[in-house]
Structure 1
Amino acid sequence: MKKGLLILFCLLLAVTLVPVSGFAARTTYVTIGTGGVTGVYYPTGGAIAKMVNKKRREYNLRATFEATGGSVFNINALSVGDLEFGIVQSDRQYQAYNGLGEWQGKPFTKLRAVFSIHPELVTIVAGADKNIRTVADLKGHVVNIGAPGTGQRGNAMDLLNAVDMEPGKDLQIEGLKAAESASMLQDGRIDAYFYTVGHPNGSVKEAVAGARKVNFVAVPEEISSKLVQQFPFYAAAAIPVNLYPGVVNDGDVNTYGVKATLCTSADVPDEIVYAITKEVFDNFEQFKKLHPAYASLTKQQMLDGLSAPIHPGAMKYYKEVGLK
């Protein structure tokens, strides 16, 4: 009897000592926070997830993506582990890491950059009947500057401060979601709206295609230069009007902008960030076809505009291929 029990014990011990590699590896799930479904962030997150999921057995990794409130939401979700990745404006990345703006005195020091994606221009769309041609003309009008906590609202406030225009006093502001702006403008409920976005954009096209004629509002060069000097995450830019047939502008419109970036947390394992980075860069030509805003994108440009430290998993890939 004792001998039988001893044999049984040895068999059980042998089973428990079988290497873990002998069993199927456990799949890790990650979520990518994007933005509203009408913007560029949402399909970008979907494309990244799709690329990774094609290799899910190789990486033991499955990615999902979800619509969110945008940059601020994504950063805050990264900080508490509700998201593993998030698409974030470069200005918000800078502020969060350095404890500025929404994160005043509370820097998110574990924020890590993965890569930048595309330029996003501060775009002001106005009803042509209101004769709002430059920023100064916004005075006395009803203007949607974006929902509280969004990147576009922060960009709008930077501009209004630069021209000494006080919301509530010099103009009436609304805090609507970007997706609502085009219809509100066409319905005459607002006179103009801010939208920080890559071009061409479906929502802007909707505004341009409506019965009410619209125009882009120019940011004078001296003002955009002032903003670029004041904030390291801004760059001067121009809105290409040829992308919007019917808009009431004669030529490209001066403005400024930021970059959309993919961020993560230092707590996300290196191998996961490496896999995400590798799949996007190894399928770069496919990625560029995702949106017209990506057409002229280069791999080197995807390392620009990153103010938080690059995650070691991403850096490993960049060093392997000679980008760093």
Structure 2
Amino acid sequence: MLLPEASFCDENTYLTIGSGDITGLYYLTGGAISHVVNSRSKETGLRLNVQSTPGSIYNIDNVISGAIELGIVQSDRLYQAVNSTQKWPNNANQKLRAVFGIHAEAVTVIASEMSGITNMDQLKGKRVNLGHSDSGQRQNAIHALENQGIDYNNDLKAEDYVDYKVPELIHSNQLDAAFITGGHPTDFFNAICSGQTRVRFISIMNVGPILKKYPYYIETSIPVSLYSSQRNYTDVKTFGVKSILMTSEHVSERAVYIITKEVFSKIKQFKKLHPVYVNLSPRNMIEGLTAPIHSGAL
């Protein structure tokens, strides 16, 4: 697509990106995208604002309602919204659009050493955080547990704390384990691994049935070399999703074009903003999208 370099419009346009918890990678990613785009606001007339939110479900709902224009979401939640499943049973969501993909996110299970948990089966009877009800990771946790034959309603003490509370709760022995869907490495996982309580990552094995049943999941692993203080000695097997910047078809083609152009043309600069972005390229950022791509991003 060839659009002129002229200003976005006669007056500045402000768009909001819904992200995630302020301690998480979604908030940092929203800030990274805003930083790159806003560096040329005088030329483009477009300025982005990043908003901390509860997560993917909130972001999708608020893009649908028009309360925000953009959101960073998990690929599975976007797939469900576009295909009118799970929490989105109507067809209005067919107006949702992908802008580009970002980093891969591993469904991560982390447990305190004192809990004695070394595998998924040992989560039974334990205090386990599945994630906030408006987060995409809660459904990932439920899928992982169901694949293991674990009923989260009856077989464990399921909690729904927001992510930022998890490190303190684990270190104060108020939680035995937690599910977190996220990229690696992050300060969040560093905070859990470097506290007074020793922790270990728990592998999620035999994920073939999950990948077959849910087309938006991918097989992945967590390199143990990323965190020096945890108690694992081999890389941790799991599955995951992809984070996607999404919007609505109602957001202008010109605005989406500017965002895409600025990030792609400054990809080397963008990749330096966090280690999780190191393998990004314009080519792989348009792969694995779970909603139709916005015309401004083509």
TM-score interval, normalised by the smaller of the two chains: over 0.9
Structure-1 residue corresponding to 2:254: 271
Q: 1:312 aligns with which of 280, 289, 295?
A: 295
Aligned-partner Cα distance in 1 for 2:188–2:173:
16
The residue correspondences of 1:110-259 to structure 2 (distance < 5 A) are: 110-220=95-205, 222=206, 224-259=207-242
Secondary structure at 1:157 match in 2: helix
Structure-2 residue corresponding to 1:280: 263
Offset at residue 166 of structure 1 (A): 1.1
**Could you tell me whether the CA contact under 8 Å between 2:125 and 2:156 is conserved in 1?**
yes
Q: 1:302 aligns with which of 252, 260, 285?
A: 285
Instruction: State, as a whole percentage, how many aligned pairs show the same letter.
Output: 42
Structure-1 residue corresponding to 2:3: none
Aligned-partner Cα distance in 1 for 2:122–2:90:
35
Question: 1:267 is matched by which residue type in structure 2?
Answer: H
Offset at residue 58 of structure 1 (A): 2.3
2:6 corresponds to 1:35:
no
Larger Cα-atom Rg:
1
Structure-2 residue corresponding to 1:88: 73
**Could you tell me whether the CA contact under 8 Å between 1:127 and 1:213 is conserved in 2?**
yes
Aligned-partner Cα distance in 2 for 1:148–1:304:
28
Q: Which moved more, 1:104-113 or 1:171-180?
A: 104-113
Structure-2 residue corresponding to 1:69: 54
Offset at residue 54 of structure 1 (A): 2.1
Secondary structure at 2:87 match in 1: helix
Question: 1:141 is matched by which residue type in structure 2?
Answer: K
Runs of 4 or more off by more than 6 Å in structure 1?
A: none
**Could you tell me whether the CA contact under 8 Å between 1:27 and 1:60 is conserved in 2?**
yes
**Could you tell me whether the CA contact under 8 Å between 1:98 and 1:107 is conserved in 2?**
no
**Could you tell me whether the CA contact under 8 Å between 2:145 and 2:151 is conserved in 1?**
yes
TM-score of the superposition, structure 1-length normalised? 0.87
Offset at residue 107 of structure 1 (A): 5.1
Offset at residue 265 of structure 1 (A): 0.4
**Could you tell me whether the CA contact under 8 Å between 2:36 and 2:270 is conserved in 1?**
no
Offset at residue 118 of structure 1 (A): 0.2
Aligned-partner Cα distance in 2 for 1:47–1:139:
39
Over the aligned positions, Cα root-mean-square deviation in angstroms equals: 1.4
Secondary structure at 1:64 match in 2: strand
Question: 2:270 is matched by which residue type in structure 1?
Answer: F
Unpaired runs of at least 5, structure 1: 1-20, 316-324
**Could you tell me whether the CA contact under 8 Å between 1:113 and 1:310 is conserved in 2?**
yes
**Kindly tell me: are residues 145 and 29 of structure 1, through their superposed partners in 2, closer, same or farther at Cα, counting changes over 3 Å?**
same
Q: Which moved more, 1:239-248 or 1:42-51?
A: 42-51
Q: Which moved more, 1:105-114 or 1:88-97?
A: 105-114
Q: 2:37 aligns with which of 18, 29, 52?
A: 52
Question: 1:265 is matched by which residue type in structure 2?
Answer: S
Question: 1:286 is matched by which residue type in structure 2?
Answer: Q
Aligned-partner Cα distance in 1 for 2:28–2:199:
27
Unpaired runs of at least 5, structure 2: 1-5
**Could you tell me whether the CA contact under 8 Å between 1:100 and 1:107 is conserved in 2?**
no
Aligned-partner Cα distance in 1 for 2:40–2:186:
31
Secondary structure at 1:63 match in 2: strand
**Could you tell me whether the CA contact under 8 Å between 2:217 and 2:240 is conserved in 1?**
yes
Secondary structure at 1:51 match in 2: helix
**Could you tell me whether the CA contact under 8 Å between 2:54 and 2:135 is conserved in 1?**
yes
Offset at residue 274 of structure 1 (A): 0.1
Aligned-partner Cα distance in 2 for 1:151–1:139:
22
1:233-288: per-residue Cα shift (whole Å, max 9, x none)?
10011111111102111110100000110001000010000000000000000111
Secondary structure at 1:272 match in 2: helix
